[in-house]
Amino acid sequence: MKKIVMFLGLSAALFANDAYVGTPAKILDKVGGKEIGQLFVGAKVKVLKDSGNFAEVEYNGFVPGEGNTAYARLGVLESDISVKNDKNFKKNGVQKDDYDNEWIKVSVKGAVEKKALKPNLDEVYKPGEELFKERCGACHALHGYDEFNVNVWPSVIKTMIGNAGLDETETQTLTRFLQSKAPIE
């Protein structure tokens, strides 16, 4: 009974507003449809409809020029989604960043397994913080969150994947956590 109440509470929280990707998740063109891309840990989606084990969602982000990867924030390389074909993105205008680079505002709708979604960012960031303390602090003193900026952390983590024994999900989780704490510049 307790599990049912918790599940209903989580479902209500997820389907009342925004949700966040807690584990890498395939995004399908529709429930039971074909895969159109991959959502990365930390990506924010708007839940449009509950469909059994799936949630119908909409993602909004930015693409620098042409490409198949969209980012969470304008001018920040915080990967949210990669689509198989950039035609899957609906283009919603252009915006310039602080360096006068043009970023295309994009959106994509699709279906995602509900088990991949979390109702708040704390549930996404907590495992990242634990990984940082456990894996990164095992060999050397921990870096300050602000030692590297948001666009540099992914490269730093990439060099340490083997030493820290990180799998793909852990790499995404750790990267997203550190990017959330890092300065933009």
Instruction: Give the 3-state DSSP-derived string for 42-69, with helices as H, strands as E and coil as C.
Output: CCEEEEEEEECCEEEEEEEEEEECCCCE
- What average pLDDT does the structure give for the chain? 91
Do residues 116 and 53 touch, judged by C-beta distance below 8 A? no
Q: 69-73 and 76-83: which strand pairing?
A: antiparallel
Do residues 88 and 82 touch, judged by C-beta distance below 8 A? no
Do residues 45 and 21 touch, judged by C-beta distance below 8 A? yes
Say what the pLDDT of residue 15 is. Answer: 47
Say what the pLDDT of residue 137 is. Answer: 85
pLDDT tens digits, one per residue of 29-48: 999 999 999 999 999 999 99
> Given pLDDT bands bounded at 50, 70 and 90, which one contains residue 138?
confident
Alpha-carbon gap, residue 172 to 127, rounded angstroms: 11
Where in the sequence of the chain do the CATH 1.10.760 domains occur? 122-181
Say what the pLDDT of residue 32 is. Answer: 93
Backbone Cα Rg of the chain: 17
- Closest to 173 in 3D by CA, of 135, 144, 142, 119: 135
User: For residue 12, is pLDDT > 80?
Assistant: no
Say what the pLDDT of residue 139 is. Answer: 84
pLDDT tens digits, one per residue of 104-135: 999 999 999 999 999 999 999 999 999 999 99
Say what the pLDDT of residue 10 is. Answer: 52
User: For residue 26, is pLDDT > 60?
Assistant: yes
> Given pLDDT bands bounded at 50, 70 and 90, which one contains residue 14?
very low
Overall fold of domain 122-181: Cytochrome Bc1 Complex; Chain D, domain 2 (1.10.760)
Cβ within 8 Å of residue 120, ≥6 positions away: 20
Cβ within 8 Å of residue 112, ≥6 positions away: 21, 25, 26, 27, 28, 39, 45, 54, 55, 57
pLDDT tens digits, one per residue of 159-185: 999 989 999 999 999 999 999 999 987
